[in-house]
């Protein structure tokens, strides 16, 4: 996991990039979230958007996320399948990276790994990043991160900045699961701490519970990889 520069403008991602970026603005990846299921961007506009990005910075990645492979296939496939019927796609788009943006499987169960299987079998290594949600995946961080490690997928931590924002509480759990899965190193600081008693009584070494202990001083002994 790493913090990286990604341009993402939410519902107005495409317009924001068109209106807001000059060729001197460089991003590692241009990401569009749910172009069909939320933004209803046309195949033509989506293809144009990729061309625009690649003309701006040919080394940048073009990425998007969708909730299932039918929706992503609307942009990537020719023909694309809609309601079981094949249609010609005159503007198929070949992205560099595809994310999965759904946190349940297709049957509504909380574990989306079967959905990830579908993305992997359809897109192979192009399905190389995915979202894991603070507000929906807390009970399954270890299974999801294990899948990511086993399948060479970089997990991205998702939390909408709304009134249900759980990121402060969930981030430590997520990091712990990521450490268990092998994504993170963990370093612990070890301190030596001295305490003193604040009472004026005669301190009884046999009954330390009778004292009122407060921290006196602490010294950092080192930082250790666990």
If binding means CB under 5 A, how many residues of this protein chain bind Zn ion? 4
| HEC assignment per residue over the chain | CCCCCEECCHHHHHHHHHHHCCCCCCCCEEEEECCCCCCCCCHHHHHHHHHHHHHHCCCCEEEEEECCHHHHHHHHCCCEEECCEEECCCCCCCCCEEEECCCCCCCCCCCCHHHHHHHHHHHHHHCCEEEEECCCCHHHHHHHHHHHHHCCCEEEEECCCCCCCCHHHHHHHHHHHHHHHCCCCCEEEEEEEEEEECCCCCCCCCCHHHCCEEEEEEEEEEEEEC
CA distance 139 to 111: 9
The minimum distance between CB 197 and Zn ion, in angstroms, equals: 3
* Choice from 199, 216, 217, 221 touching Zn ion (CB under 5 A): 199
* Choice from 44, 186, 203, 218 touching Zn ion (CB under 5 A): 203
For 135, left (φ over 0), alpha (ψ -120 to 50), or beta?
alpha
The minimum distance between CB 193 and Zn ion, in angstroms, equals: 17
- The region of 23-31, 74-82, 105-113, 206-214 touching Zn ion under the rule CB under 5 A is 206-214
- The region of 8-16, 38-46, 178-186, 195-203 touching Zn ion under the rule CB under 5 A is 195-203
Considering the complex, state which of residue 109 and residue 208 has its C-beta at the smaller distance from Zn ion. Answer: 208
The minimum distance between CB 152 and Zn ion, in angstroms, equals: 58
The minimum distance between CB 219 and Zn ion, in angstroms, equals: 23
Per-position x/- string for 140-179, each x denoting binding to Zn ion as judged by CB under 5 A, each - no binding = ----------------------------------------
- Regarding 211 and contact with Zn ion (CB under 5 A), the answer is yes
- The region of 19-27, 69-77, 127-135, 201-209 touching Zn ion under the rule CB under 5 A is 201-209
- Regarding 196 and contact with Zn ion (CB under 5 A), the answer is no
Considering the complex, state which of residue 154 and residue 211 has its C-beta at the smaller distance from Zn ion. Answer: 211
- The region of 1-9, 15-23, 95-103, 193-201 touching Zn ion under the rule CB under 5 A is 193-201
Q: In what order do the strands lie in the sheet with 6-7?
A: 6-7, 29-33, 61-66, 97-100
Considering the complex, state which of residue 38 and residue 211 has its C-beta at the smaller distance from Zn ion. Answer: 211
Task: State the residues that interact with Zn ion by CB under 5 A.
Answer: 197, 199, 203, 211
């Amino acid at each position: 996991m790493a913090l990286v520069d990604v341009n993402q403008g939410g519902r107005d991602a495409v317009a924001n990039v068109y209106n807001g970026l000059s060729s001197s603005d460089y991003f590692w990846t241009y990401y569009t979230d749910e172009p069909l299921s939320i933004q209803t961007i046309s195949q033509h506009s989506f293809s144009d958007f990729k061309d625009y990005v690649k003309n701006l910075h040919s080394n940048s990645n073009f990425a998007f996320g969708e909730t299932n492979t039918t929706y992503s296939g609307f942009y990537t496939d020719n023909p694309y399948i809609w309601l079981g019927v094949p249609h010609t796609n005159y503007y198929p788009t070949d992205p560099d990276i595809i994310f999965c943006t759904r946190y349940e499987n297709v049957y509504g169960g909380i574990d989306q790994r079967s959905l990830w299987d579908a993305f992997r079998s359809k897109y192979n290594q192009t399905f190389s990043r995915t979202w894991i949600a603070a507000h929906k995946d807390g009970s399954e961080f270890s299974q999801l991160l294990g899948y990511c490690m086993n399948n060479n997928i970089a997990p991205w931590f998702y939390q909408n900045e709304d009134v249900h924002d759980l990121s402060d509480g969930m981030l430590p759990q997520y990091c712990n699961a990521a450490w268990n899965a092998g994504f993170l190193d963990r370093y612990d600081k070890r301190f030596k701490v001295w305490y003193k008693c604040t009472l004026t009584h005669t301190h009884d070494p046999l009954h330390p519970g009778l004292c009122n202990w407060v921290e006196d001083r602490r010294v950092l002994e080192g930082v250790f990889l666990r």
